[in-house]
Each structure stands twice: as C-alpha cells, then as structure tokens.
Amino acid sequence: MRKFWVVFVVLIVGFGAVVYFGRDPFPVVPLPELGDGPVTLRVVRAINDRFNSLSEEEFESVLDQTARSVRFHFGLEVRFERGDDYTIAELFQLIPEPAEELALSLSYTPPPSGVSPEELISSIAVQIENGRVSTANILRFLEASIPGASRMRTKDLAESVASTWLDGLRAWQGLVAEDGDQVIDSSNYHQYAMWDFLGYGHLPFDIVVTNQLAASAERYAFSPASAPSGGQMGGLTGYSRKGQYGTYTMLSTFTYTNDIGDLTKLSPGQFLDSAITTRHAALMLTHEIGHLVLLLGHPWNNPNCIMSPSRPRLNGLSSGLDAAKCKIGSEPAMTPGAANIRYDRDLRGRLGPLGRFKSAVVAFMGGQADV
C-alpha cells in the first residue's frame, strides 16, 4: 500500500505553524548519553579586538570555578579541553551561507523612533497566543516597566513589549565603545539569530566564550527576561550539527570588562573587579552547561535554582542559590531532556536552498537564551 505524507502550512501574520503527518521537520535535540566518567567539554574563545576581554588568568579562573559549580549543582565532573582562540570574524565564517541567510531574514531591524514596529508586535502576539511565551512570565519580568500589563489585551501587551524591547536596543545602538565607534556597528556579530544558527556549521568545540556584545531583536524568539535590556543576552545554548552532545553554548563577557557608561537599565553588571567578574561568569556558564549537557529547562518559580531564568544581579547572584532545593528531577524543568531545543531537519540535511519550510521555521526553532 502506498503511503502518503501530508504537510499543511498555515501562515499566521507572517509566522508559520505546521501540522505534519510523518517526520517532524523541527525535531528536538535528544538527551545525550553521558556515561560514567567525567564529561569533557571543548572550549574556545572568540575575540573581537574592538573590545576589552577577560585576561588569560581570569579566563582560567572562570573555568576552574565553573567545574566546581557544576559538581555542586548537578553532581557532574567536567573537564575543559582548551582549543585555539578565534577572531570574531573567523568564528562567523563557520556559519554556512544558507543558515546565515535564514538567520538574517529572521532578525529584526528597528524602524526609526516614532514608527510602529508592526511586524515585531505581530510576532510577539502570536508567541503569546500560541503559548510559546506565557503571560505570567511576561508579567514577572515586564510588569514594572509596563504599568497595567496584567489587564491588557494580547495586542496591546505585545505592542508595549515591543516598545520596551526596542527602546533598550536603541539605547545599545547609541552607546560608544572605548575605541570611539558605536558598540553596535554594521557587522552582524551582535545578532542573536546569527549565534543561534552558528551551530549549523562544523563547530570543533562545545563552548565559546566571547567578549562580543549580543543584543538584538528577532521575529522568532522572544524572551521576557531580556526584553527590558534591549534583547541583550549573557548566554545561549542551541543546536550544534556536529556537537558531541547535539548542542553548543555561547557565553558573552562583554558587560564585565567594557566601561561604556551607565548600563544599570540594560545589563546585570559592568566593569567589575576581577573576583566578582569571574564568579558571575562561572555561575552563568554553569547555568548554560545545565542546558548544554543535561538539557535542563528553566524552573521559573524556583529562585533557589541555578537554572532559574530570573534576571541575575551581581550583588545577590549567589545568595539564595541552594542545590538541595533544586535537585535534578525535583520538578519538570529540572528533569534531563526538559529543554526544548529544536533544529531544522531540512536545513541540516541539505544546507543548500532553504526549501519549503523556511516560512515555518519560526514556530519551532531556537535555543535557550539567558540574560
């Protein structure tokens, strides 16, 4: 008997929703088998020479503290295997051209101030309506900056979120780095989507630590935690086509080492002393390794947990963290495999013309982004 595969693509305000009878075109990264021995993580640095970065001593301190923190919070032994440093340009050359084209097509360029960002508003509204982003989490992070948010209709809430998000991004665009040029220049190194799609290349590492700022807006990935800071993220864990665990992690240290003015409203911290900087970076990297290796999710309602997505503030980041109150398996988000990291099967398989699923990718793709 001949089998028929049927694909229905429903476009909703420019976004794709797929009903697929057959193989899922956007599968979830499977939980890796770790074995009994130590977990080896290959780590490199990607340096943008426009910006200050951690010293070699600080970087080694971050790795040492991270190994201890991972053992404490997850009961895992990790060993870091250093690779050669990349320039930021060399790193981005690893992104295959079709993946880069798709990433840029999903990135959002803010219109001039005063012009309504209708496309971004619509995308946020769809993500709220389809449950990808919960209203409760929007209120958790944005109620202070959006008065009356709890009483708003979806369209009005999405409009307010977009306005808050783009105000923050424009603030980043207005800042000048220590080299005298704008922090966000004409390159795409700051774009979240470019980092998200980096994993479609042949990455010879599991973790990349960069001094590059990551702050942007996208039509497919909305994080309530990062919206007030203009889409700025301290870390990301996403799909890696050649990764030994099917994932890779990026950690940005930009705000730790670059003195570019008052970032109180945009970032958890800046230009800090070495001890605080390395401690904070190690805790952020521990969080990302929870996504990377165990595919843990975000326990939104547990402030004691290293995996909580609550916006970290340096003056109290480690206070309240209690591994005993956030054990592996203690709740659904802390169950290995809970993270919903997906990839585009069509793009991965061909890495040629993007094919018929390009319009639908936004409904399913994206890694775990963290502020």
Cβ-contact 346, 365 below 8 angstroms: no
Q: Does any domain span residue 127?
A: no
Q: Would residue 10 count as lying in a domain?
A: no
Please, what sign has the CA dihedral across residues 233, 186, 55, 193? Answer: positive
Q: Is residue 294 part of a domain?
A: yes
| β-pairing verdict for 235-239 and 368-370 | antiparallel
Note the pLDDT of residue 7: 34
Helix (H/G/I), strand (E/B), else coil: 346: helix
Provide the pLDDT for residue 272. 64
Let me know: does 168 contact 75? Beta carbons within 8 Å: no
Confidence at residue 292, expressed as pLDDT on a 0 to 100 scale: 97
Domain encompassing residue 197: 29-108+182-370
Please, where are the H alpha helices in the chain?
56-74, 88-92, 97-106, 118-129, 135-142, 154-173, 192-197, 254-257, 274-294, 345-350
Asked if residue 18 belongs to a domain, the reply is no
Residue 4 lies in a domain: no
pLDDT digits (tens, 9 = 90+) for 307-323: 988 644 444 556 678 89
**How high is the pLDDT of residue 224?**
84
Residue 120 forms part of a structural domain: no
**Quick check: is 114 in a domain?**
no
CA distance 231 to 215: 5
40-50 residue pLDDT tens: 999 999 999 99
CA distance 179 to 245: 38
Provide mean pLDDT across the span 186-194: 96
Q: What is the pLDDT of residue 276?
A: 84
Domain assignment present for 290: yes
Q: Count structural domains, the chain.
A: 1
Q: Is the dihedral of CA 133, 211, 32, 312 positive or negative?
A: negative
Q: What is the pLDDT of residues 140-183, one digit of tens each?
A: 778 877 888 888 999 999 999 999 999 999 999 999 998 999 99
Backbone angles phi and psi of 47, in degrees to 5 = -110, 125
CA distances from 164 to 2, 154, 229 (A): 53, 15, 8
Question: Tokens at residue 210, please?
Answer: 């960069």
Could you give the CA distance from residue 234 to residue 222 in angstroms, rounded to a whole number?
15
DSSP SS3 for 92: helix
Does residue 3 have a pLDDT over 70? Answer: no
Instruction: With residue 290 as reference, give the H or E element that holds it.
Output: helix 274-294
Residue for token pair 């480690």:
318
